[in-house]
A and B are shown apart, each in its own frame.
Chain A
Amino acid sequence: MSGPSNYNPQNPVLKWVERRLPIGGLIHSSFVAYPTPRNLNYWWTFGAILSMMLGVQIITGIILAMHYTPHVDLAFKSVELIVRDVNYGWLLRYLHSNGASMFFIAVYIHMFRGLYYGSYKEPREVLWILGVIIYLLMMATGFMGYVLPWGQMSFWGATVITNLFGAIPYVGDSIVTLLWGGYSVGNPTLNRFFSLHYLLPFVIAGVVVLHVWALHVSGQNNPAGVEPKTEKDTVPFTPYATVKDAFGMSCFLLFFAWFIFYIPNYLGDPDNYIPANPAVTPAHIVPEWYYLPFYAILRSIPNKLAGVIAMFAAIIVLAFLPWLDSARTRSSKYRPLAKQFFWIFVVVCIGLGYLGAQPPEGIYVIAGRVLTVAYFAYFLIVLPILSRIETARPLPNSIAEDVLRKTGSTKTPMVSTMIALAVGGALMLGAAGKASAADDSHGLTPPSLKWSFAGPLGKFDQGQLQRGLKVYKEVCSSCHGLSYVAFRNLSDPGGPGYSPAQAAAFASDYKVKDGPNDAGDMFERPGRPADYFPSPFPNEQAARAANGGAYPPDLSLIAKARGYERGFPQFVFDAFIQFQEKGPNYIDALMQGYEEKAPAGFALPEGSYYNKYFPGHSIKMPKPLNDGQVTFDDGSPATVQQYAKDVSAFLMWAAEPHLEARKRTGLQVFIFLIVLSGLLYFTKKKVWADAH
């Protein structure tokens, strides 16, 4: 496609280099003069968006690795300290964690686009297979990255996924041991996952180079699916494709920024804010949303080995697509039947994604099996048959003709774009939702309260944080630690608003263990601003012994580590209304959810208390708050309701101390990106004005 380079540098230095290493000519022929079909639509900008996302992930990842500690005792804490203490650490972490999701959203759109327009067909088979390899590498990278924060989902996800390999006959157990580097998932596992998580993105980058190379040999496919024949069918990559891609990327960044700044934990699981605990499995293990369809396939098959094979086959089958679909016509635009089945297939994938998030019981299992069959049937039955029986509509003679035809009627592409957008959004959101069926063991859904820190302009109420701190100090702190919060944080901007002197005075009320001193002894001294809130118990065993076997959790992250289901379709709306207040709602409800007597028929175990909102209803913590227990200096009512709300807000701040900075930065970023996207849009229009 790309003919001999017409790159002729005038600058003598460039000339000198070019004679010895023709890199300028390579860049020029690949990204400047490279002819690109003139009828490409915006679905084609996802290639550029994916390159951008790979760059974002690599850059933020390298930076996070500068602050991260891959050790089972320190990994969770080091991630928290990145978020709390490193300059812009919260931004970098949310960029990286949400960036993974954005990367997958973009890759799924890119893949569905290839599927719809037949981009895998002759002569682009190798290009497509390289893409499947990139996708597999992305899945491995994403999985290992999710393990690194060493939360509960990290640990149990690692356990479940590595155990998949145990299904392999004869050698399975040995392979699993090899992956773990031990008798279970542990420190060696974390270390090697960190190493590989750092390595694989560069492997991806290498395969991306091959992918782009193959693309530049065979040329880009296009919505009409006819090859460019004359000069009139193409436009040079720069400025046409560059400015269009730039506009696409800018719009995608707007979407990305919504997640980073306003709903950074929407796609994550609250359980991953609980440090990994090899002794307790979370009630409901769910992988990251982008694996859910395959997870659903795995669970649909009631045999370990067969399930694993089916899951991997679901991905591998993509590599054979060029031969399964042998129809001569590429674009589904001209294949009425293939087009319908394509959309059915999209719905099947979304359905599988939804089911992957549901508990594996009852109707969900049956639905999962039906959709699994449908998934494979699309590739193994529908496409091979269609390619033999379907008569395609007449193709345009050339791309130029396609462009002319399109300018005549712009309605159809608009409609299909709308459908695709809606489906794409639903795909992402549908799969993201971890709505599980409300069963009896779950608590009641907590009421949604109004919080000052909700919404795009939300801010903490300083008075409320101060009152909440008082409740924590006088009540909660006798059993619960707050070990990631330092006294100095009390004077941080966006917090309870104390002065550094007040924070120091507050700290000096505490006794902190320090040492060893010159004589080798540990000693106690008054707290300093740099110290963290001391925990009430020296270790978990002591805490359990003092609390009837229950372990009062540390409260630093509790507001992000607790959630509940909002159900479909509410969880979809939550992404738009920026709902991120499950934690405080739950804590508030729990504080007030105690009932004197368990309802008739409920067997309350000895030493437990009945709470409406606690999952399972039987809680070991006695009712912590009572009217009049804490006196507020500001005249706020001394009621349980007031205490509960204040302490919930305080714990939200403790879990997300940079919330205000995040939302403020978000507003600036949004204004900037809207301006940039607008300018790029008009620039794009100007550039393309003479191409249509």
Chain B
Amino acid sequence: MTSSTSAEPTRRDFLYVATGAVGAVGAAAVAWPLISQMNPDASTIAAGAPIEVDLAPIATGQDIKVFWRGKPIYIMNRTKKQIDEARSVPVSSLPDPQSDQSRVKEGHDQWLVVIGICTHLGCIPIAHEGAYDGFFCPCHGSVYDSSGRIRQGPAPLNLAVPPYAFVSDTKIKIG
């Protein structure tokens, strides 16, 4: 009797702990699909495949806006003046220091390709506006230069450069 009473509680505790643990594992396993379903579905992912853009129709000093993965992408054919402006400013004086060269593809220096989403709170800046010959965000007044770098206003970072590559001289593949 005495030995069995001393053995009993531990066996019982073990059973309770085991049952509770298995139940908890089950609850966690159930939570996974319930949360995972909120991620982009397969068709959305497939639709986010790389796109090709023909640059031929964009004259110097003009820009176009294309959409990739639901994001507007500015493709700007910059004038010589714009390029020079972007390259003459000392990089270290910028809020988010980056050289213009590092933001474009070598040999295609006139082409600026940036995601047109303000790094402040996500509005879409207007091209060819603002004091730096680049972009101006009307929401809270962020100003980007002709390299898409933040120069003034509340936005913390430069406009992001999406992954892209030149397929030919007049064609890029974004993504």
A494-541, CB < 8 A from B: 518, 528-530
User: Smallest distance from the beta carbon of B61 to chain A beta carbons, Å?
Assistant: 19
How many A-B contacts at CB < 8 Å in the complex?
A: 66
Number of interface residues of A (CB under 8 A): 29
Residues from chain A with a CB closer than 8 A to the CB of B29 are 672
Least CB distance, B35 to chain A, in whole angstroms: 9
Q: Are B49 and A87 in contact (CB under 8 A)?
A: no
Of the candidates A59, A81, A492, the one whose C-beta lies within 8 Å of that of B34 is A59
Interface flags for B1-37 (1: CB within 8 Å of A; 0: not) read 0000000000010011011001101100100011011
Inter-chain contact A530/B37, CB cutoff 8 Å: no
Residues of B within 8 A of A675 (CB): 22
State whether B49 touches A529 (Cβ < 8 A): yes
Contacts of B93 in A (CB 8 A): none
Measured between alpha carbons, how far is A453 from B46 in the docked complex, in Å? Answer: 27
Identify the stretch in A88-96, A130-138, A296-304, A390-398 within 8 Å (CB) of chain B at 4 or more residues: A88-96
Q: Which residue of A lies closest to B48 (CB)?
A: A530
Q: Which of A14-64 contact B (CB under 8 A)?
A: 59, 63
Contact status B43-A679, CB under 8 Å: no
Q: Is the interface of B mostly helix, strand, loop or mixed?
A: helix
Bound-state CA distance A518–B65 (Å) is: 12
Would B36 and A88 count as touching, CB distance under 8 A? yes
- How far apart sit A488 and B44, CA to CA, in the bound complex (Å)? 12
Chain A residue contacts of B18, Cβ below 8 A: 679
Which of A85, A528, A683 touches B16 (beta carbons < 8 Å)?
A: A683
A259 to B12, CA, bound (A): 34
Residue ID in chain B nearest A239 by CB atoms:
B16
| Beta-carbon contact of B41 and A85 below 8 Å | yes
Which residue from chain B places its CB closest to the CB of A679 in the assembled complex?
B19
Minimum Cβ distance to chain A for residue B49 (Å): 6
B121 interface contact, C-beta 8 A: no
Q: Are B15 and A676 in contact (CB under 8 A)?
A: no
Quick check: A672 and B43 within 8 Å, CB to CB? no
Alpha-carbon distance between A554 and B99 when the two chains are bound, in angstroms: 56
When the two chains form their complex, are residues B23 and A676 in contact, meaning their CB atoms are under 8 A apart? yes
- C-alpha gap A676/B27 in the complex (Å): 12
Tell me whether B36 and A87 are in contact (CB under 8 A).
yes
Measured in the bound complex, the distance between the Cα atoms of B36 and A680 in whole Å is: 29
A87 touching B46, Cβ below 8 Å: no
Say whether B49 contacts A676, CB under 8 Å. Answer: no
Decide: A91 and B43 in contact? CB cutoff 8 A: no
Find chain A residues with CB under 8 A from B41 CB: 67, 81, 85-87, 89
Bound CA span A528–B50, Å? 11
A682 within 8 A of B: yes
**Given A529-B49, A672-B29, A676-B23: A683 in contact with B15 (beta carbons within 8 A):** yes
CB distance from B4 to the nearest CB of A (A): 13
Chain A residues near B38 (CB-CB < 8 A): 66
Most buried by A among B18, B29, B33, B57: B33
One of A67, A530, A686 near B46 (C-beta < 8 A) = A530
Q: How far is the CB of B36 from chain A (nearest CB, A)?
A: 4
Residue on B nearest A488 in the bound complex, by CB: B46
B43 touches A88 (CB 8 A): no
Q: 5 closest pairs, A vs B, by CB?
A: A88-B33, A530-B46, A85-B42, A85-B41, A679-B19
Chain B residues engaging chain A, CB cutoff 8 angstroms: 12, 15-16, 18-19, 22-23, 25-26, 29, 33-34, 36-39, 41-44, 46-47, 49, 57
Known contacts A86-B37, A88-B36, A89-B41; 18 further A-B pairs (Cβ under 8 A): A63-B37, A66-B38, A67-B37, A81-B41, A81-B43, A85-B41, A87-B39, A89-B37, A488-B42, A488-B46, A492-B42, A676-B19, A679-B15, A679-B18, A679-B19, A680-B19, A682-B15, A686-B15
Q: List 30 A-B contacts (CB under 8 A).
A: A63-B37, A66-B38, A81-B41, A81-B43, A84-B42, A85-B43, A86-B41, A87-B37, A87-B39, A88-B33, A89-B37, A89-B41, A92-B33, A92-B34, A92-B37, A246-B23, A486-B43, A488-B42, A488-B46, A492-B42, A518-B57, A529-B49, A530-B49, A672-B22, A676-B22, A679-B15, A679-B19, A683-B15, A683-B16, A686-B12
